[in-house]
Amino acid sequence: MAIVAIGYAIVRWSDGQGGVPQDFTGARTQGALIAENIVNLSNQSTATLDKVSKLDNEGNYKDALTLTTGLVTQSAQIRNQAVALSEQIATMTQALSGVSNLSARQDALEAISDQVALLNQLVSYSADLGSLLGVLRERFTGAYGTTAKVQALVDQVNTDVNAINNFNAQAEKAMAKFDAREGGQQ
């Protein structure tokens, strides 16, 4: 009987101490880092768009086009981060059934849902940024693009970034509730 009890304790401990599977904990940690990186990159793009707008207003199309081209590279980095985040979300989802506390499991599910919403918003962000970059390139080469059209797309990209930030904050809040229910474990 003692051997069975010790074996059970070892399995519980190695599977994630306190009813939280190790796979969930690892994916959660990596997912949080990736989500934070996505937020930082998207915020950087907003700052870059402000610079592009200023250069556009000054008629400095060459420098504005250079910055715009840099946004394409940054957008690709965000997409790569989104793929990495989706992998961590998949791991968390698979391990979710191993969370023993039902209320904590619900909090984790809420955080996962917020991260999925963040990924969905990244799709919109990417499409809107792509449209904006196309219009800016045309505008800066003299082919097309009104200031009003550019401003509308800049506003939409900024709205996307705000939504990304909000979904990330909601996921962090849900995980804080999860931690409280699980006794502060991470």
Domain CATH number, residue 33: 1.20.120
What is the pLDDT, as a whole number, of residue 17?
47
Q: What CA–CA distance (Å, rounded) separates 62 from 70?
A: 13
Comparison of pLDDT for 88 and 130, the residue scoring more: 88
What is the pLDDT, as a whole number, of residue 84?
94
**183 confidence band (pLDDT: 50, 70, 90):** low
Q: Give pLDDT tens digits for 143-174.
A: 766 777 888 888 898 899 999 999 999 999 99
What is the pLDDT, as a whole number, of residue 89?
92
- Domain membership of residue 186 (yes or no) is no
Burial of 70 from C-beta contacts in 10 A (0-12 / 13-18 / 19+): middle
DSSP 84-127: HHHHHHHHHHHHGGG---HHHHHHHHHHHHHHHHHHHHHHHHHH
Specify the amino acid at residue 164: I
> For residue 74, is pLDDT > 80?
yes
Which residues constitute the domain of residue 46?
20-181
**Tally of domains within the chain:** 1
- Domain membership of residue 11 (yes or no) is no
- Domain membership of residue 4 (yes or no) is no
- Domain membership of residue 15 (yes or no) is no
Q: Give pLDDT tens digits for 3-61.
A: 554 544 444 444 444 578 889 989 999 999 999 999 999 889 888 888 988 887 887 87
- Domain membership of residue 143 (yes or no) is yes
- Domain membership of residue 96 (yes or no) is yes
Q: Give pLDDT tens digits for 91-140.
A: 999 998 888 888 988 999 999 999 999 999 988 888 888 888 888 778 77
- Domain membership of residue 111 (yes or no) is yes
- Domain membership of residue 9 (yes or no) is no
What is the pLDDT, as a whole number, of residue 171?
93
